[in-house]
Chain A
Amino acid sequence: MAQMAYRDALNQALREEMARDPRVFLMGEEVGLYEGAYKVSKGLLQEFGPKRVIDTPIAEAGFTGVGIGAAMVGLRPVIEMMTFNFAILALDQIVNHAAKISYMSGGQYRVPIVIRGPGGAAFQLAAQHSQSMESYFCHVPGLKVVMPATPADAKGLLKSAIRDDGPVIFIESEVLYGFRGEVDEEEHLIPLGVAEVKRPGEDVTIVAWSKTLHLALEAAEALEQEGVSCEVVDPRTLRPLDKETILNSVRKTNRVVVLEEGARFSGVGAELASLISEEVFDLLDAPVYRVPGIDVPMPYARNLERAKIPTKERVIEAVHHVLYRQ
């Protein structure tokens, strides 16, 4: 085990997978010479050469499609979106092609592609560079959607994503790249679709992923001080969702708060709320309560930005709410 930053864990995963499998290549804007806009691909060009670490022009739909085509005929592309905001330009490629080719071809063709990059709210980057888009991708059958919150998860999940035979949307957290944690430097794989209880508790379940996991943990710590015990569950993979781990937690606590940085309407949190009320309705002592992003584009001003996204205070309030405390 070693202490390392989230960014370096991702780098290690890429390096290990590229060394293991010559079919794996990394393509995207600034991934080579510049070593990635967020330095995730540091040293990879040097180690693997320009054939496998490929700088592209700014043409997201184009190079995403290139990845899909390459994947159809046997390669294992890792396509970097400089930020996931730009993946919207490639949405047709991702949604209409990558996600559907296996199904449309009756399983004749698979598309083992990883589309990865930072997503989520960042700091004062305003509406076009600071948004959470997991719910867009989660709505698409045929895609897997992974959002690691810790360096260890980042490494283990990226390696599994690269080995997966279908398209994986791998959304990193822009603000967690420097976040440090223990990472297994040996072969470290975390299966897709498996959630983890990041903190056990009794009274309330908090479901949170990516950056909001850390908010949830901070809130849980503060709530412990008042005698409220929170169980924090990190789905890690949003699609396919590890329903059982979440439901088992709710079976124990009877109360749920769902955190989500993305906008409330049609968010992943709505799916979770629906799942929970359908599956364990009779065990709920309070309605599932969501702490989502406000339904507005991301503002620039610091105070407005803070008001737009979930905060520790809002999480604590939500926990009080489901406990019927004021």
Chain B
Amino acid sequence: MKRNLKGSRRVAEKDKDRVSSRAAKGAGMDARVMRHLLRQMLLIRRFEEKAAEMYALGKIGGFLHLYIGQEAVAAGAMSAIREDDYAISHYREHGHCLAKGTDPQRIMAELFGRHGGLSKGKGGSMHLFDRAHNFLGGHAIVGGHIPIATGVGFAIKYEGKDQVVLCFFGDGAVNQGVLHESFNLAMLWKLPVIYICENNWYAMGTPLEKASAVQDLYKKAAAYEMPGEPVDGMDVLAVRECVGRAVARARGESLPTFIEARTYRYRGHSMRDPSAAIYRTREEVEEQKKRDPIVRFQQCLMEQGALDEDEWRKMDKEVTDVVDEAVAYADASPEPPLGVLYEDV
């Protein structure tokens, strides 16, 4: 029972025409920065692929929501902020945590439920927190962390600091009431919060057109007179630039921004939705993969001479090694001792 999903089909065309896309215009940028962005995206993808394997092997339990396909959003957005800025995310957050600078070993160990994990094995895949990198967590109640991000913005302003906070959520969260409460408060109080909706067109299995009266999600900011803009979420430079504008607005004018990053997840909602083929067609997925953020950016760098085949292979090898080391670390890490059960309540 595959439906013709107009909304999703529309993505590519729409983004081509209307949404700022920078992939072709990377020229002139610092090659190191561009290689860094590519490497970040690659790290996220290899990490996720390995995580899927570990899940199949039974080393990771519970829910595992893969980010594959959406890497440009995390990598691009995080590259636009400082280390002391904050980020907070939802349950599909491995990519954000990695991009924020967290050691992949600690993440993998957390996924394994081991004592060496970020939360000593008490959080798991959906709840990655890293205080050392101002990563305020993965939160698994859809939209629940949006007011919390708003509060972080409130605290920044209260203490007179110039940090910003990035808040990631999916298109499913846009219909939650707390998003609207938060938008109102952030605009009312002029808080330095950048709300980034990763619109991958499906809230679990429900297509956006079945869930939102307004298809251009960024327009919802207008109700609060909040700056809002769409961006091609499959284009790391476009995301970086768009978030960069929002960061400047947040630091300079203490204003929030709502960014709708149009992206796509290749895998199912979670590992328990392996085929992801009930609510969308394989053709649609294949079509979207043509816009793959890593492949396109890698080609772009090569075309510009910022990357050659050797460097690319070397980069992939390095990243793969990092991921393998993460698995080795997680494997070697002991299960949390039972005393941990009673700690940190």
Interface membership of chain B positions 173-194, coded 1 if the CB is closer than 8 angstroms to chain A and 0 otherwise? 0000110011011001000000
Interface membership of chain A positions 1-41, coded 1 if the CB is closer than 8 angstroms to chain B and 0 otherwise? 00000000000000000000000010000000000000000
**B129 lies within 8 A of A106 (CB):** yes
**Please, which residues of chain B bring their CB within 8 A of the CB of A70?**
151-152, 154-155, 158
Interface membership of chain A positions 35-75, coded 1 if the CB is closer than 8 angstroms to chain B and 0 otherwise? 00000000000000001000011010111111111111111
**A75, chain B: closest CB distance, angstroms:** 5
**Please, which residues of chain B bring their CB within 8 A of the CB of A69?**
88, 136, 147-155
Interface membership of chain B positions 135-176, coded 1 if the CB is closer than 8 angstroms to chain A and 0 otherwise? 011010100111111111111101100000000000000000
**B150 lies within 8 A of A65 (CB):** yes
Mind listing 6 A-B residue pairs with CB under 8 Å?
Answer: A62-B181, A63-B147, A65-B181, A74-B155, A97-B141, A109-B129
**B184 lies within 8 A of A109 (CB):** no
Q: Give Cα distance in the complex from A107 to B122, angstroms.
A: 10
A93 close to chain B: CB less than 8 A: yes
Most B CB within 10 A of own CB, among A61, A71, A73 = A73
A102: nearest chain-B partner, CB-CB: B344
**A73, chain B: closest CB distance, angstroms:** 5
B124: nearest chain-A partner, CB-CB: A104
**B39, chain A: closest CB distance, angstroms:** 26
B77 close to chain A: CB less than 8 A: no
**A96 lies within 8 A of B345 (CB):** no
**Please, which residues of chain A bring their CB within 8 A of the CB of B145?**
65, 97
A142 close to chain B: CB less than 8 A: yes
A66: nearest chain-B partner, CB-CB: B151
Contact A102 to B345, CB < 8 A, known contacts A66-B151, A73-B155, A108-B118 = yes
**B315, chain A: closest CB distance, angstroms:** 31
B123: nearest chain-A partner, CB-CB: A104
**A65 lies within 8 A of B151 (CB):** yes
Q: Give Cα distance in the complex from A96 to B345, angstroms.
A: 13
Contact A75 to B147, CB < 8 A, known contacts A104-B123, A106-B122 = no
- Choice from B130, B139, B343, B344 contacting A97 with Cβ under 8 Å: B139
**B178 lies within 8 A of A73 (CB):** no
Q: Give Cα distance in the complex from A106 to B129, angstroms.
A: 8
Which bucket holds chain B's interface residue count? 35 or more
**Please, which residues of chain A bring their CB within 8 A of the CB of B146?**
65
In the complex, number of A-B residue pairs with CB atoms less than 8 Å apart: 138
Q: Give Cα distance in the complex from A68 to B343, angstroms.
A: 20
A70-B151, A104-B129 given; 16 more Cβ-contact pairs under 8 Å: A59-B185, A63-B181, A65-B147, A66-B148, A66-B150, A69-B136, A70-B152, A72-B151, A93-B144, A93-B178, A96-B139, A97-B141, A97-B145, A104-B119, A104-B137, A107-B343
**Please, which residues of chain B bring their CB within 8 A of the CB of A63?**
147, 181, 185
A196 close to chain B: CB less than 8 A: no
B220 close to chain A: CB less than 8 A: no
**A278, chain B: closest CB distance, angstroms:** 19
**A312, chain B: closest CB distance, angstroms:** 38
Interface membership of chain B positions 77-90, coded 1 if the CB is closer than 8 angstroms to chain A and 0 otherwise? 00000000010100
**B152, chain A: closest CB distance, angstroms:** 4
B9 close to chain A: CB less than 8 A: no
**B114, chain A: closest CB distance, angstroms:** 12
**B131 lies within 8 A of A93 (CB):** no
B120 close to chain A: CB less than 8 A: yes
Q: Give Cα distance in the complex from A317 to B120, angstroms.
A: 52
**Please, which residues of chain A bring their CB within 8 A of the CB of B149?**
69
B127 close to chain A: CB less than 8 A: yes
**Please, which residues of chain B bring their CB within 8 A of the CB of A93?**
144, 147-148, 178
**A61 lies within 8 A of B148 (CB):** no
Contact A108 to B131, CB < 8 A, known contacts A65-B146, A69-B150 = yes
**Please, which residues of chain B bring their CB within 8 A of the CB of A64?**
147
**Please, which residues of chain B bring their CB within 8 A of the CB of A65?**
144-148, 150-151, 178, 181-182
A158 close to chain B: CB less than 8 A: no
A224 close to chain B: CB less than 8 A: no
Q: Give Cα distance in the complex from A53 to B319, angstroms.
A: 50
**Please, which residues of chain B bring their CB within 8 A of the CB of A106?**
117-123, 129, 343-344
**Please, which residues of chain B bring their CB within 8 A of the CB of A59?**
181, 184-185
B167: nearest chain-A partner, CB-CB: A69
**B178 lies within 8 A of A61 (CB):** yes
**Please, which residues of chain B bring their CB within 8 A of the CB of A73?**
86, 136, 152, 155-156
Interface membership of chain B positions 31-48, coded 1 if the CB is closer than 8 angstroms to chain A and 0 otherwise? 000000000000000000
**A105 lies within 8 A of B127 (CB):** yes
Query: Which 6 residue pairs across A and B have the least CB separation, nearest first?
Result: A65-B147, A69-B151, A62-B181, A106-B119, A105-B129, A107-B344
Contact A108 to B119, CB < 8 A, known contacts A57-B184, A62-B178, A92-B141 = yes
Considering only residues 321-345 of chain B, those with a C-beta below 8 Å from chain A are 343-345
- Choice from A61, A75, A97, A102 contacting B155 with Cβ under 8 Å: A75
**A104 lies within 8 A of B185 (CB):** no
A113: nearest chain-B partner, CB-CB: B151
**Please, which residues of chain A bring their CB within 8 A of the CB of B130?**
108
- Choice from B136, B144, B155 contacting A109 with Cβ under 8 Å: B136
**B154 lies within 8 A of A109 (CB):** no
**Please, which residues of chain A bring their CB within 8 A of the CB of B148?**
65-66, 68-69, 72, 93, 97
